[in-house]
Amino acid sequence: MSRYREAGVDIDEARRAVELIGRAAASTATPAVLAGVGGFGSLFRFDPAPYPEPVLVASTDGVGTKLKVAIALGRHDTIGVDLVNHCINDIAVQGATPLFFLDYLATGTLRAEVAEEIVGGIAAACLAAGVALVGGETAELPDLYHGEDYDLAGFIVGVVARADVIDGHRVQAGDILIGLPSSGLHTNGYTLVRRVLRPDEWRRTADGLDRTIGEELLEPHRSYLDDIRILRRALRAAGGDIGAMAHLTGGGWPENIPRTLPSGLGVEIQTGSWHVPRIFSLIQERGDISDEEMVRTFNLGIGLTAVIRPELADAAQRALPDISRLGTVVPVNDEAPRVAFL
């Protein structure tokens, strides 16, 4: 007689994982959650009153091959933080307040304690941002994933008043580009990194690093939600607002910044106007990677950029002392790059 467990799927372990995960999810519940983990669907009722003409903003993303580093080092507590903060940033740059989050975890061999560790990180990041973790899916797929390999995806929904949407339409030539520091590589470039910095080095340090390479690579993705709120408050008090924002993820600087700008405009960035952490120069040196490839692949120490009017620069700096003034918005023709480094 054939049994599901013999085919590679352990229903009992899955039930145990759901019980452990449910505790973490419950810690993030808000009064708006009517039904969360455990049902066929999650029920969420938000108050639209603070958002005249409310616009829902949704996004989904993953963590990429940063997961391979977490699996190799047996550390799964930060990878969920990466997932949540990446998704939060993607909607926050459009002005949205995140409401709720769902996750998808697929693995070859389900281990309840590992699932609990992963989702514990997800719940911690949700709790820090005031976001409800309302549900998700945990799938054991031995025919698709090898052994204890797993994949992770997140889904977020937020809301913004229509008048408060940040979509770049107010950006003009002469505006300035500012940036906020990243906490490290965030969640991009790891396929290249794993070729340059070998797994047998991850438990060791390197010249210029204060910790091991593995610890550098697993540093969680920074959330910019509070920074955006602080910046927007300060600029509005000074009579302005943010014109556009970009979350520097896949595609780096040249792919993400233009997504926030009106047609016919680009940015000129002053090389050396921000601090580039040692981990990036180490990767570039070890891999003999060109400057052009670096800016297309990595954030290089800036995780979020914003466009503001020049007269608001001092207010922005007072509100967020760690920002860097990166460059200027300029007119560009069809042949010119929309992101130029000077």
pLDDT in tens, 295-339: 999 999 999 999 999 999 999 999 999 999 999 999 998 888 899
Contact 223, 161 (CB under 8 A): no
> Residue 152's pLDDT band (boundaries 50, 70, 90)?
very high
* Least confident piece of the model among 40-49, 124-133, 157-166: 40-49
More confident site: 228 or 15: 228
Could you give the CA distance from residue 133 to residue 130 in angstroms, rounded to a whole number? 10
Across the chain, the runs of DSSP E, i.e. the strands, are 33-35, 43-44, 54-62, 97-107, 132-140, 150-161, 176-181, 244-247, 265-269, 302-308, 324-331, 339-341
* pLDDT computed for residue 2 by the predictor: 46
- Res. 16 pLDDT band, cuts 50 70 90: low
pLDDT at 1: 45
From the list 278, 287, 317, the residue with the least C-alpha distance to 184 is 278
pLDDT of residue 6: 47
Is 11 a residue whose pLDDT tops 60? Answer: no
Question: Is 24 or 260 the better-scoring residue by pLDDT?
Answer: 260
Architecture of the domain spanning 5-164: 2-Layer Sandwich (3.30)
Mean pLDDT lowest for which of 17-31, 102-116, 210-224? Answer: 17-31
What would the mean pLDDT of 280-294 be, rounded to a whole number? Answer: 94
Angle between helical axes of 79-92 and 112-129 (0-180°, round to 10)? 30
The fold for domain 176-341 equals: Phosphoribosyl-aminoimidazole Synthetase; Chain A, domain 2 (3.90.650)
Count of positions (residues) in the chain: 342
CA distance 42 to 135: 6
Judged against a pLDDT cut of 90, whether residue 160 lies above it is answered with yes
Encoding tokens for residue 295? 């800016």
Contact of 307 with 325, CB cutoff 8 Å: no
Residue spans of the domains in the chain: they are 5-164, 176-341
Q: What pLDDT, on a 0 to 100 scale, did the predictor assign at position 17?
A: 57
Q: Is the pLDDT of residue 79 over 80?
A: yes
Same fold across 5-164 and 176-341: no
Q: State the residue for tokens 């940040």.
A: 166
Residue with tokens 């452990």: 20
Q: Is 150 exposed, middle or buried (0-12, 13-18, 19+ CB in 10 A)?
A: buried
Residue 81 DSSP SS3: helix
Q: pTM score > 0.85 for this model?
A: yes
Q: How many CB atoms lie within 10 A of CB 154?
A: 28
Residue of 53 and 334 predicted with greater confidence: 53
Query: How many Å apart are CA 152 and CA 19, to the nearest integer?
Result: 19
